[in-house]
Amino acid sequence: MLLSEASRRRGLFASAAGLIGLVLLSGCQVKPLYSNGSTVAQSAASISISDAEDRVEQRVRNELIFLLAGGRGEPANPTYHLEMDVNSRDVGVLLSQDDDVARAGRLVLTADYNLTLVESGETIRSGRRQVVALVDFPVQEFAKLRAVRDAENRAAREMAELIRADLSAALAKR
């Protein structure tokens, strides 16, 4: 009799714990990061981006156009305009102690951007982002140039992702 009473209590406790768990989980929801996704996607697709001044800035611009418009290109009648300035530099170059030749380093990409409403010129979002890409410098000159270019391309892709996330968050609040 004592055993059946203990098992009955365990069953009652398990049922109560399950019921409490269901009540707590009923308040949870799975929602997209930017809750009004279709509105944000339409707004992002209506952003024009300033012209680039160098290869790396052009790379960031191209990646951003693709991400914002879903591959459709720049809009004919933009609602927003993104002014962007991208700079890259090599920092933290490690020199080999044997022959004083650079073997590895970091490429730092910095972007300043300002999203404005075309009609009024009102600033929606402005910011500064920085991305670091590691790069190895081989002995051969062409391989070194290619390694730097690959690091710039990686950094440009990452920079475009960061800026797109910032812009999407700002547009979701509107």
* CATH code of the domain in which 43 resides: 3.30.160.150
Tokens 């404005």: give the residue: 116
Enter the pTM of the model: 0.74
Q: Is 18 part of any domain?
A: no
Q: Is 21 part of any domain?
A: no
Q: Are 131 and 154 in contact (CB under 8 A)?
A: no
Q: Is 7 part of any domain?
A: no
pLDDT digit string (tens) for 65-105?
A: 999 888 888 888 999 999 999 999 987 676 666 666 667 88
Q: Domain span at residue 70?
A: 31-173
Tokens of 91: 């920092």
Q: Is 25 part of any domain?
A: no
3-class secondary-structure state, position 167: helix
How far apart, in whole angstroms, are the C-alpha atoms of residue 156 and residue 47? 19
pLDDT score at 172 = 86
3-class secondary-structure state, position 30: coil
- Tell me the sheet residues that pair with 94: 104
Q: Is 138 part of any domain?
A: yes
How far apart, in whole angstroms, are the C-alpha atoms of residue 92 and residue 95? 9
- The tally of domains found in the chain comes to 1
Residue 4 pLDDT more than 70?
yes
How far apart, in whole angstroms, are the C-alpha atoms of residue 119 and residue 142? 48
Q: Is 14 part of any domain?
A: no
Q: Is 8 part of any domain?
A: no
Q: Is 4 part of any domain?
A: no
